[in-house]
Amino acid sequence: MTREPAEIINEYLMQMAENLPLFRRFTPATAPLKDLTPQELHTIAMIGKMGSPTMSELARRGRVTLGTMTVMVNKLVRKGYAKRRRQASDRRVVRVSLTPGGRKIDRLHEQFHRDLVDRIMAMLTEKEQRQVARIIQKIATSLD
């Protein structure tokens, strides 16, 4: 008897999520990532993509409260990966940006994702690659 497709999808999504932290042992170059949680890495990636967002913009993009994002940014500032600065024209507005160390982590994280996607794509035909891309796009759209 075959398992329900939903069960299979759930099982494999859980397996992929559990195995993603394995990137921490891929190469010596990824050693700096060991002191960061996945949430911190993704916050660094958001800051990197957004440039110098305000705390509110960052919280909205991360789909968390301003308080939750403040705690996360505090951790990144303490670890030396991010910095805050008040906007000169309105001191109430706080912008966040990456330090040189944060930019290095962002590049390592991006490279990890490129390598992971390359590994996945290498085992698929071009047709399968297009199918997977369409399916993942549908899944991501349904989660919005």
DSSP string, 79-94: TTSEEEEE-SS-TT-E
Give the per-residue pLDDT at 80: 95
Give the per-residue pLDDT at 113: 79
Give the per-residue pLDDT at 33: 64
What CATH number does residue 95 fall under? Answer: 1.10.10.10
Dihedral of CA atoms 67, 69, 74, 79 in degrees, nearest 10, equals 160
What values do phi and psi take at 54, rounded to 5? -75, 165
Number of domain units in the chain: 1
3-state secondary structure of 87: coil
Give the per-residue pLDDT at 131: 92
103 within a domain of the structure (yes/no): yes
Half-sphere exposure of 131 (CA within 13 A, CB side): 5
42 within a domain of the structure (yes/no): yes
How do residues 45-82 score in pLDDT, each as one tens digit? Answer: 999 999 999 999 999 999 999 999 999 999 999 999 99
Give the per-residue pLDDT at 24: 52
124 within a domain of the structure (yes/no): yes
Q: Choose between 113 and 86: higher pLDDT.
A: 86
3-state secondary structure of 54: strand
Which domain, by its residues, includes 137? 28-143
5 within a domain of the structure (yes/no): no
pTM of structure: 0.74
